[in-house]
Amino acid sequence: MTDEPLLSVRNLKKHYPITEGILSKQVGAAKAVDGISFDIEEGETLGLVGESGCGKSTAASSIIRLEEATDGEVIFNGGGRQGRTRNQDGSHPNDITQFEDEELKAFRRDAQMIFQDPSSSLDPRMTVGSSVAEMLLVHGMTDKERRREIVEDLLERVGLEAEYYDRYPHEFSGGQKQRIALARALVLNPEFIVADEPVSALDVSIRAEILSLLNDIQEEFGLSMLFISHDMSVVREVCDRVAVMYLGEIVEIGDTEDVFSDPQHPYTEALLSAIPTPDPTLDRENIELKGTVPSPISPPSGCRFHTRCHKVIQSGEYDLEQSDWRALLTFRDKVQTGEIDPSSIRNALSGEDMDPSDVDDETVKTQLRVEFDLPETLSDRDAESTLQTAIDALAEGRIEDANEELSVFSTPCEKEEPAETDHGNGHLSSCLRNQSAAERAEPAPADD
């Protein structure tokens, strides 16, 4: 392993235009990938992890240029840390996003992709052997006997048998098909492989086998790999380093050991908390990640995770139970977006044989607190009085008034974009809580 990155991704963006009407006027953009940066060293496996919808696949296909990036650089074999001399226009000669036909063709040999569904890379009408051998043919190997020899050898190296060459994809299980897809990815002797959720579609019982095969192959072939998964436990099996992605951005990156033993971003903590532990007595905080990833068309302001973060910062004047503060902000957001409809609560409470208007306000108010995890009373008197006024307004159907009351609750996390904090050893995170007060525009409340 040299100390030069094989791949350097710099401020990569992929925005999908959102269009409207018959003229397809662009009315916005889905910022699926919104400025990510990382290096992958030779022989290294970097994990890219995050919930579904975070932008992992978009990042992968932009890096390998199955899709055109909106902005940023992907420098492959850049020729050293300092990089090769840049062109006069400031572009980098090894920037994949700028490659023309010939360079792109060469890159397509050097970088291969494995997908979640192995069938997607196998033609059902071709024997698996010729599917793999086709790659060699396309890249100029005309000797048929030689092609067969190479493919048979490769089939054995991925744990299958040479005789399988003449069989068809439907004769194989999911795990075997993924082995064939791997052979197909390896046959041109690439330097870099992107594996997008390669075991997610497989039976749990065979996942470990395929992961260990990937580990062996990666070592044997000296490959660099970008390994994508939504599952932290899978990432731990194969990755040297891990990048945690949330809503188009990388919120934490570092050595796998460091990220797992000492996570620095609340999102990472939440993902780790979802891993089932074999030992139920193990005392680990159970963090429930509620809701889903918001739309990348209008991502939340400030820190994009603030709408779901269990550690969202309280504004200076409050010192509430953290879970109450979280519930209060979620309640505020739902009132603001109109997701809370008191009349439907009234209807639900009235049941079959009661008129909704006969449900008294007190019952509605109690129910609102129950449904939104709000306590009977908040520990802070001012906060409680504001909340009460808002809930009173809601019960009477004055949603706008409630909205206005609740708008006094705010968090620095929605106002300020977090900067990167360096925890040493290449371990970085982007969370306001990790920044010193001096670095932050708005001073933090005293930490306990």
CA distance 216 to 238: 10
Q: How far is the CB of 61 from Mg ion (least distance, A)?
A: 9
Q: How far is the CB of 84 from ligand ADP (least distance, A)?
A: 30
Span near ligand ADP by CB under 6 A; candidates 50-58, 198-206, 259-267, 411-419: 50-58
- The angle formed by the CA atoms of residues 199, 202 and 277, to the nearest 5 degrees, is 70
Q: How far is the CB of 245 from ligand ADP (least distance, A)?
A: 7
- Tell me the per-residue interface mask from 246 to 285 with ligand ADP, x by CB under 6 A, - otherwise: ----------------------------------------
Span near ligand ADP by CB under 6 A; candidates 55-63, 142-150, 204-212, 218-226: 55-63
Residue of 6, 9, 32, 186 that binds ligand ADP (CB under 6 A): 32
The sheet with strand 249-255 has its strands ordered as: 111-114, 192-196, 224-229, 45-49, 241-246, 249-255, 428-429, 421-422
Amino acid at residue number 416: E
Q: Does 47 bind ligand ADP (CB under 6 A)?
A: no
3-state secondary structure the chain: CCCCEEEEEEEEEEEEEEEECCCCEEEEEEEEEEEEEEEEECCCEEEEECCCCCCHHHHHHHHCCCCCCCEEEEEECCCCCCCCCCCCCCCCCCEHHHCCHHHHHHHHHHEEEECCCHHHHCCCCCCHHHHHHHHHHHCCCCCHHHHHHHHHHHHHHCCCCHHHHHCCHHHCCHHHHHHHHHHHHHCCCCCEEEEECCCCCCCHHHHHHHHHHHHHHHHHCCCEEEEEECCHHHHHHHCCEEEEEECCEEEEEEEHHHHHHCCCCHHHHHHHHCCCCCCCCCCCCCCCCCCCCCCCCCCCCCCCCCCCCCCCCCCCCCCCCHHHHHHHHHHHHHHHCCCCCHHHHHHHHHCCCCCHHHCCHHHHHHHHHHHCCCCCCCCCHHHHHHHHHHHHHHHCCCHHHHHHHHCCCCCHHHCCCCCCEECCCCCEECCHHHCCHHHCCCCCCCCC
Q: How far is the CB of 232 from ligand ADP (least distance, A)?
A: 14
Residue nearer to ligand ADP on the CB measure, 254 or 296: 296
Residue nearer to ligand ADP on the CB measure, 33 or 320: 33
Closest residue by beta carbon to Mg ion: 57
Residue 296 binding target from ligand ADP, Mg ion, none, CB below 5 to 8 Å by type: ligand ADP
Q: Which residues from 279-308 bind ligand ADP, rule CB under 6 A?
A: 296
Q: Are 54 and 305 in contact (CB under 8 A)?
A: no
Q: Does 412 bind ligand ADP (CB under 6 A)?
A: no
Residue of 19, 26, 52, 91 that binds ligand ADP (CB under 6 A): 52
Residue of 6, 30, 136, 251 that binds ligand ADP (CB under 6 A): 30
Residue nearer to ligand ADP on the CB measure, 198 or 296: 296
Q: Does 56 bind ligand ADP (CB under 6 A)?
A: yes
Q: How far is the CB of 342 from Mg ion (least distance, A)?
A: 38
Q: Does 62 bind ligand ADP (CB under 6 A)?
A: no
Where does this chain bind Mg ion (CB under 5 A)?
57
Q: How far is the CB of 47 from ligand ADP (least distance, A)?
A: 13
CA distance 135 to 272: 39
Q: Does 113 bind ligand ADP (CB under 6 A)?
A: no
Residue 47 binding target from ligand ADP, Mg ion, none, CB below 5 to 8 Å by type: none
Q: How far is the CB of 41 from ligand ADP (least distance, A)?
A: 24
Residue nearer to ligand ADP on the CB measure, 154 or 245: 245
CA distance 242 to 307: 24
Residue nearer to Mg ion on the CB measure, 57 or 435: 57
Residue nearer to ligand ADP on the CB measure, 191 or 196: 196
Q: How far is the CB of 194 from Mg ion (least distance, A)?
A: 11
Residue nearer to Mg ion on the CB measure, 48 or 328: 48
Residue nearer to ligand ADP on the CB measure, 27 or 437: 27
Span near ligand ADP by CB under 6 A; candidates 49-57, 108-116, 350-358, 436-444: 49-57
Residue nearer to Mg ion on the CB measure, 184 or 230: 230
Interface residues with ligand ADP (CB under 6 A)? Answer: 16, 30, 32, 50, 52-58, 296
